[in-house]
Structure 1
Amino acid sequence: MDQSLLVFMTVAEKHNFTRAAEALHMTQPAVSQHIQALENSIGTKLLDRSNKHVRLNKAGEIVYRHGKEIEGLYTRMQRLVDDLMHTASGTLSIGASYTFGEYVLPHAIAYLQHHYPLIKPTITIGNTKEISSLVAGGQLDIGIVEGALEHDKLHAESLARDLMYVVTSSSHRFGKDEDVSAASLRQETWIVREEGSGTREVTERMFLEQGLNPSSRMEFGSTQIIKESVEAGLGISLLSHWAVRKEISLGTISKLTIGGKPVEREFSLLTQHHQQHTKAAEVFIGILRKRKGWPEQA
């Protein structure tokens, strides 16, 4: 990778020439020379400098963003060459949306580490838009997101079916039931995820399909606080079985279907179009496809 571009990216991330020089084990004048050489090559200034801070200008933001993509391509190139002579090893960057990333992915990673200890995974958790953008930009090798996705740079493969249930406290009036009618849930307080969440999107779709329009709602920003609130009797919610399987086994939360069926959604596996995978990525994709190490849904 071009040394001047690497120096520029380090300065942008450290916001300071001195700290960048320390991180790169270079002198500060050498850092300045690399920045000047890159700016001369590009044909414009890339940084706004002050006495205390260094910030990217508009041109610098463009160069930095594409520099991260180049860095990802260079890293992948090096790993592919290394793979020609070695077994599956090295870094593997994985991104996932919240439900899969917090409740399913750790089990798959544990299986990976047990059978392929030379692979060193890094995990990024975010919403579908964030993860797909990072995969498309080459900053993640693999993404797992909720629902189907169309993106001109990405290949999306259906990976898993997620079963979602209405959940209540075990002491709730429906806590001993297995199935309820939509009409019986209209007066309940519903606890929902924030706008933009995949779980929220499925919940709103369920409301529409079942003719539900709850007048009492609470909106929380994480599944964990929703589970705690349901256990405390604050209301009911729609959550993935993966997210509540422990609480169900402990008997603190009960799951219900509406009309005899759980709500279903899909998780998709994202990779770049025409991307040549490293052995580490191939191994992990195989684990995901075969559902090795995953918790089962009942």
Structure 2
Amino acid sequence: MDMALEVFIKVADKGSFTQAAAELNMTQPAVSQYIRALERSVGAKLLDRTNKYVRPTQAGEIVYHHARIILGTYTRMQTLVDDVLHRAGGELSIGSSYTFGEYVLPRLLANLKSRYPLIRPNIKIGNTDVIADMILNREADIGIVEDEYQHEKLAVEAFAEDEMLIVVPAEDRFNKKSEIGLEVLMEETWILRESGSGTRRVTERMFSERGVQPASILEFGSTQLIKESVEAGLGITLLSRWTVQKELKLGTLHVLRLSGDPVKRPFSLLMQPTPYHTKAVQVFLELLKELSGFQGLPSSSLRYNEHG
């Protein structure tokens, strides 16, 4: 592995030669020497350095982006080689959208830790578009997103079904309703996730398929904030059953049953279209298969979407 790339990434992340040196257990002159050597190698100045800041130049941004991909690829290569001789272990990088990452994934990781204590999961949460970019840039081994998703450069597979619920305040006017048509709720304020969110996409698809559109919409970037806002009587929303289990048990939120077919969506798995995966990835896929009941999840079954 090229140590100069690792040093450059650390300096760029920290914005400081001193902090980078401390984390790398190097002297500051040694860090500077690596940076100079890298700049000579690529033939460009990579960092702007003043008394107030250290940040990448335009050329440095290009090097930074590709350096992360190079080091990530190297790490996965080394882990694959190590897997030949050792039991499942090492880092497992998972990118997950909010619903699965915050409400389902913790239980999976607890199971993973008890069975494979040498695996070190590294979790990053973002909306669906962010997670797809992470997989494309090899910043994560596995991506888990909400709703159907297709990408011409990624292997994608739906692996579990998620039920979506109309969530309303625990008020008498809602508690008396057992089943309701969606059109009746269009005068309510709807509180939705931001654009790019899987939950937002399935909500807009529900409106479109049923030929309705709310008179008033609020947009929040946090499921927790949406739940608290609904509890406070600010509006109503559509959320995964996973996200409101505690509130339904406590009686702080209420669910309306829609007339017609229930609203459902899949959870989908995103990966690089390659047959080579670390043992850590393989055992996590097996764990997903066990807990979801999905029978077609092994990496060999992941399909390559030729049409985005």
1:292 Cα deviation from its structure 2 partner = 5.8
Looking at structure 2, the residues matched to 239 and 151 of structure 1 have their Cα atoms a distance apart, in angstroms, of 25
1:146-161 matches, within 5 Å, as: 146-161=146-161
| TM-score of the two chains, using structure 2 as the length reference | 0.89
SS of structure 1 residue aligned to 2:174: coil
C-alpha change, 1:253 and 1:56, in structure 2 (3 Å) is same
Deviations 1:19-53 (A, max 9, x none): 22222222322222222221111112111222332
Query: Is residue 284 of structure 1 aligned with residue 284 of structure 2?
Result: yes
1:5-20 matches, within 5 Å, as: 5-20=5-20
Runs of 4+ in structure 1 off by over 6 angstroms are none
C-alpha change, 1:250 and 1:14, in structure 2 (3 Å) is closer
Match of 2:185 in 1: 185
Deviations 1:119-143 (A, max 9, x none): 1211110011111111121111111
Looking at structure 1, the residues matched to 14 and 189 of structure 2 have their Cα atoms a distance apart, in angstroms, of 47
SS of structure 2 residue aligned to 1:173: helix
SS of structure 1 residue aligned to 2:173: coil
Looking at structure 2, the residues matched to 27 and 277 of structure 1 have their Cα atoms a distance apart, in angstroms, of 36
Match of 1:54 in 2: 54
Give the letter for the 2:74 counterpart: Y
1:144 Cα deviation from its structure 2 partner = 0.1
| TM-score of the two chains, using structure 1 as the length reference | 0.91
Looking at structure 1, the residues matched to 120 and 39 of structure 2 have their Cα atoms a distance apart, in angstroms, of 36
Looking at structure 1, the residues matched to 25 and 160 of structure 2 have their Cα atoms a distance apart, in angstroms, of 46
Maintained 8 Å contact 2:170/2:251 = yes
1:101 Cα deviation from its structure 2 partner = 0.7
Deviations 1:89-141 (A, max 9, x none): 12211110011111111111111112222212111100111111111211111
Aligned residues: CA RMSD:
2.0
After TM superposition, the structure 1 stretch with the greater mean CA deviation from structure 2, 44-53 or 281-290, is: 44-53
1:81-230 matches, within 5 Å, as: 81-230=81-230
Deviations 1:211-268 (A, max 9, x none): 2222133332211122122223332211111111222223332222322432111211
Give the letter for the 2:121 counterpart: P
Looking at structure 2, the residues matched to 208 and 152 of structure 1 have their Cα atoms a distance apart, in angstroms, of 26
Gaps of 5+ in 2: 294-308
C-alpha change, 1:246 and 1:46, in structure 2 (3 Å) is same
Equivalent pairs: percent with the same residue? Answer: 57
Looking at structure 2, the residues matched to 210 and 236 of structure 1 have their Cα atoms a distance apart, in angstroms, of 17
After TM superposition, the structure 1 stretch with the greater mean CA deviation from structure 2, 237-246 or 201-210, is: 201-210
Looking at structure 1, the residues matched to 14 and 183 of structure 2 have their Cα atoms a distance apart, in angstroms, of 57
Give the letter for the 1:12 counterpart: A
SS of structure 2 residue aligned to 1:156: strand
